[in-house]
Structure formats: C-alpha cells, structure tokens
Structure 1
Amino acid sequence: MSSACHHDRIDALEAVWQRWASLGAELSEQEWSTATRCTGWDVAALYAHVGMFPPLLVDAAAMETTTGQQATAVEILRGFNAPGGAAHAMAEQIAQEAAATASTLDRAELVAHYADLGARAVTALRHRPATALVPWPGSGAVAPWSEAIRIVLMESVVHLLDVLDALGRAPEVAPAALRETAHLLAEVAEPVALNEAATGRSSRSPLPVLR
C-alpha cells in the first residue's frame, strides 16, 4: 500500500462525507422520514448509522493497537457476510440502534456528524500511518488503517446511494469513491465466478457479496 493510495482513500472519504453533510443540510422533515430501499430504515436512520464513523475516528490515534490477528478489508467483509456472520446475526440490533440514535438526535446534530466531526476525523486520519493497526468491531481482527478506511468508505458510499435513491436524487457521488468501492466489492466476490459472469461466460452471478 503506497502512501499516495492511502491518502487518496482518505480524500475520497472526505468527499463522500461532505456530500452527506450538504445533502442533509437541505432536507425537509418529510424527506428525513422517507423510507429507503433498506427495509425498515428511513433516511434519518441511515444518517445515524453511517454517522457513527466520524465521531469514532476523531481520536484515531487512541484506537490503534499492536496486537491481534491481522485481516484485510476483504477478509473482514467475507466473514461478516458469511451465513451466520455478524451482518445476519446482528442485523436487527444494528437497525434498532440506528433508529434509536436518529430519534434522540435532532437533524442538525445528524448533519454535524459529517460536517464538523467528519472534518476532524479526516484530519486525524491524515496523521495516522497506513500500516498502524486498529481493531474492527465484531470481527475479532485488527486491520491496517489503509484497509479499515476501505470499509468505512464503502459503507459511506453504499448507504449514500440508498439515501439518494430514496429521495429521487441523481446518484451523484465522488467518482474516486465509487471506483474504490467498486474495487473492494469486486475483491470480495469469488474471483472465478465474477470473471465468468462479467464476461458473459456464465449466467450464475456471484453477487450480491454483502447482505
């Protein structure tokens, strides 16, 4: 992982969080309550869910560790989304927590997670080495910042697209962020099956790779 690539990912994350912030600042109360294609989640709940990342990362240095079983973003996501994995076992709990957070914070506070805390988190990440290790919750593993940021960026992009779809807005997301997310999702897929399907040599798709 080159330093340039690591910082490109941080730049992409910054752009995506800025889009969350600018969009949230213009939403009506009706739009905040709009149902999304994520069953049971409205726009506010998705803002609360993804909004957990910026405050968590503001003190990035304090999260680091020197011990633990190291894993890549791909390995963590495959484990999370395997049958019986956390994406399945914890789905209801995660949805309830997002709804609860959305109900306790006012709309300005939800937006501030991206506009204010997001900017502070990005600054903190720029000062952390790509190779420093951080625990990834629910996985029992640690990941280098370069890999952890890939997951945070993917979550931020995928759910931003969910919000834009719910609101009937164009899927306008920073191109670099979309490319990085697409690369990660392609890596999570079984490679032979993905190549066969993508080239029209098989009708059996390895997608979706996430719950």
Structure 2
Amino acid sequence: MTSSPEQSAEKRADGTASLDQTSRANGLPTDLALLTESWAAWAALGTVLGDAGWRSSTRLPGWTMTELYAHVARGVGVLGAAVDGRSTRPPARVDAADYFRYLGGLPDGQAMVDSAARAAALAGRDELVGWFVDDAPAVLERVHASWGSVVSSPAGDIALGDYVLTRLVEGTVHLLDAVSAVDRAPEPAAEALARTADVLVILAGPARFVDVATGRAACRNLFPVLT
C-alpha cells in the first residue's frame, strides 16, 4: 500500500513496514523520478551497444544482451497499458514485494518471462531502443498524471506507485546484469539500488534477512528471492 503524505510508514498485515513513497524529487514522486533515470540509462546503453554487445552472453542462463534488453524494454509498453487501463477495484497486491512474491509463486512464471522476452526481442534492436527513447517519456508523463490510482498488472490490481516501484526494481537489477555482461553499461544510481534493497528485504522477510546477513541463521531456502 502506498503511503499518503499525511502518513508515516504504514504497517502491512504481517506487521512489517510498508514501502514509503512520500518524498519528492524534481516535482515527481521519488520512485517515478528514479524510474525516469533508469530508463534513460537503458536508452543510452542501447545507443552504444554494437553488434558484439547485443550478442554478448549474460549471467542469466540462455539470455544474451538482446533478450535482457528486450525484457526490460517491454516494460515500457506494459506500464503504459496499465496506466491506460486503470482499475476501480481495491489493490490485490499490498506493495511491490507482494507483487514479486505472487509472480514467484506461479509454477510456470519463469517460462512465461523467458517467452515474453524472446518475443519482444523479435521487434529488433532499433525498435527496442525506440521504446525507451521515443515511447518512455510519454508513458512516464501519463503515469505522473495518474499517480494515486490503482492499475491492473500481471499480478493483479496494484497501486500505481507500487507498480512503478516494481519497474524500478526490474530496471535496477537487470542493469547490474548488463554491467556484468558489457563494458559500457552504466551503473545503477545509488538511490535506485537502495529502493531495490528495500523491496528485497521485505520480500525475503526482514527478521530472517537480518539473521542471515549477521550470520545468526543459515541461508537455506532464502535466496534468491528474485531472478
């Protein structure tokens, strides 16, 4: 659940703090500003990748940079469709972590992600880059104008601010994948990494995460919490 400016960090049903989104940056909600920067980084990366770069293997099994780039780039159109198809129902997902938790529980979820990335890659390199360069600015403007609404997502209805945070997490995690694959990929912004860590800690379970990180518990069946 997205916090309102009048609220401090809210509590989820399990008693943990929800992901706060009350601060502002450049007139935009912070996560939207960070997503704008993230997508700009992906746009810049696409303009400098040569043929060898697009064909480079990544640390994701079976994916070259083309599939990786397509996976993130298709999110532009998915977010645009979500904001254009707003829901009148209350959110089914309580926050960004709940979104990933739901998708991670689908028995064929990974196969669906792989299939969607490969289908998007068929659009071609110029089209993929164009989604970031040409389409993303208009989508982000529509998101800003609709901030506070509920939208439909692949994991069910979710507050638009929470869905934007999922897009930021995807862009940030996969930019690290790109950095590991090609020399000219930009590092994610520190603020984007911090927001991504917020989501992953809640997804893993804060108390268990602390226990594992401090050596007080074994790491069995905890990681990875997101692929």
Paired residues of 2:97 and 2:203 also in contact (CA < 8 A): yes
Measure, in 2, the Cα distance between the counterparts of 1:75 and 1:119. 27
Residue identity in the other structure for 1:167: V
Measure, in 2, the Cα distance between the counterparts of 1:26 and 1:169. 8
Measure, in 2, the Cα distance between the counterparts of 1:120 and 1:9. 17
| Pairwise CA distance, 1:33 | 0.9
| TM-score with structure 1 setting the length | 0.87
Q: Percent identity?
A: 29
| Pairwise CA distance, 1:198 | 1.9
Which residue of 2 is the match for residue 99 of structure 1? Answer: 118
1:51-200 matches, cutoff 5 A: 51-58=73-80, 61-67=83-89, 70-71=92-93, 72-82=95-105, 85=106, 88-103=107-122, 105-130=123-148, 132-137=149-154, 139=155, 141-169=156-184, 172-200=187-215
Measure, in 1, the Cα distance between the counterparts of 2:225 and 2:113. 19
Corresponding residue to 2:32 among 2, 5, 10: 10
Corresponding residue to 1:27 among 49, 52, 62: 49
Unaligned ranges ≥5, structure 1: none
Paired residues of 2:53 and 2:182 also in contact (CA < 8 A): yes
Q: Cα RMSD between the aligned structures?
A: 2.1
Larger relative contact order, structure 1 or 2 (CA cutoff 8 Å, min sep 6): 1
Measure, in 2, the Cα distance between the counterparts of 1:73 and 1:94. 18
Measure, in 2, the Cα distance between the counterparts of 1:97 and 1:53. 11
Residue identity in the other structure for 1:91: Q
Structure-2 change in CA distance of 1:171 and 1:189 (3 Å): farther
Measure, in 2, the Cα distance between the counterparts of 1:57 and 1:120. 11
| Pairwise CA distance, 1:192 | 2.1
Corresponding residue SS for 1:51: helix
- Larger relative helix fraction: 1
Residue identity in the other structure for 1:110: L
Paired residues of 1:74 and 1:188 also in contact (CA < 8 A): yes
| Pairwise CA distance, 1:201 | 2.0
Which residue of 1 is the match for residue 67 of structure 2? Answer: 45
Corresponding residue SS for 1:116: helix
Which residue of 1 is the match for residue 224 of structure 2? Answer: 208
Runs of at least 4 residues of structure 1 off by over 6 A? none
Residue identity in the other structure for 2:162: E
Give the number of aligned pairs.
Answer: 203
| Pairwise CA distance, 1:16 | 0.5
Residue identity in the other structure for 1:19: A
| Pairwise CA distance, 1:61 | 4.1
Unaligned ranges ≥5, structure 2: 6-21
